[in-house]
A = this chain, B = another copy of it.
């Protein structure tokens, strides 16, 4: 019997998504659970397995080629999650082995942005591209670098940490301990920090001041959509920093496109127009006017599990 289905699992900082997916990228079944409520990783894996097993059983385990997992700080070579600041479990977690054993299937793991890149390359806007860069703008900033049609994993499996390139020398302290990382400015977390700094330092009128709870990236996006100049300036500032960084990345791998995905990327042109302007103005002349900025067209939850499932083939 031909094995024709794969399990895709996306471990996110907040939620974990999973699905049963065929080779063409059709999602036969899917679901979602909390990541954060499991302080213990073994309890998490057991919780996950109890949700995924019924889906596997109903599709028939004999049809399964294996499991693919995308996770923050995931390592393709070792199958481990190492020192992930945005997950509840500290140190090095042999996640691929834990999930594989729990489900009785072969399991392959990579980092979440790499999984998203594979998803876009197989089923999304990067179909047919040999050289592109996936940029995930969520709680953190992630990168998946594709060159010659293959992901750049590096010699140790840890390549692609776009979020931890220095954007501003001696800038804000990042969650990783370094200073001025792209992530601490251009993630959903980063734009909120900028907003809070500006609200404390400046006197602008903005609808964000009227908000009583914690400010979120979504709130800033909604304010910008409604034309709030302060919120629009937050996106301009964030887009400039990201654009300057991408101008430098051009000089390394000259991709055909940057593909954007994740919560903050949903702002679309409110953000990307500034990314585009500052990237073009700051890149080496030979690259100007060539690279595309694309938004992922896959539904949010789907892109991650599609990419993860593709690892299993």
Contact = CB atoms under 8 A, between A and B. Distances in A.
Contact of A177 (B73, B155, B156, B285): B285
A165 interface: yes
Nearest to A249: B252
A285 B160 CA distance: 14
Interface centre among A177, A254, A255, by most B CB within 10 Å?
A254
Contacts of A83: 285-286
Interface centre among A130, A148, A284, by most B CB within 10 Å?
A284
A302 interface: no
A290 B75 CA distance: 15
Given A148-B148, A164-B284, A285-B83, A252 B143 contact: yes
How many copies of this chain sit in the oligomeric assembly?
2
A222 interface: no
A123 B215 CA distance: 57
Interface centre among A153, A248, A290, by most B CB within 10 Å?
A248
Contacts of A169: 168-169, 244
A237 to B, nearest CB: 15
B159 A152 contact: no
A161 interface: yes
Interface in A30-77: 73
A284 B176 contact: yes
A145 B248 CA distance: 14
A300 to B, nearest CB: 25
B155 A255 contact: yes
Interface string A79-97: 0001100000000000000
A131 B156 CA distance: 9
Contacts of A247: 166
Contacts of A299: none
Contacts of A29: none
A254 B147 CA distance: 14
A226 to B, nearest CB: 33
B177 A244 contact: no
A282 interface: yes
B252 A166 contact: no
A131 B155 contact: yes
A252 B165 contact: yes
B254 A155 contact: yes
A251 interface: yes
A294 to B, nearest CB: 13
15 contacts: A131-B152, A131-B153, A131-B159, A145-B253, A147-B150, A148-B148, A148-B150, A152-B152, A154-B255, A155-B255, A156-B286, A158-B287, A161-B284, A169-B244, A249-B252
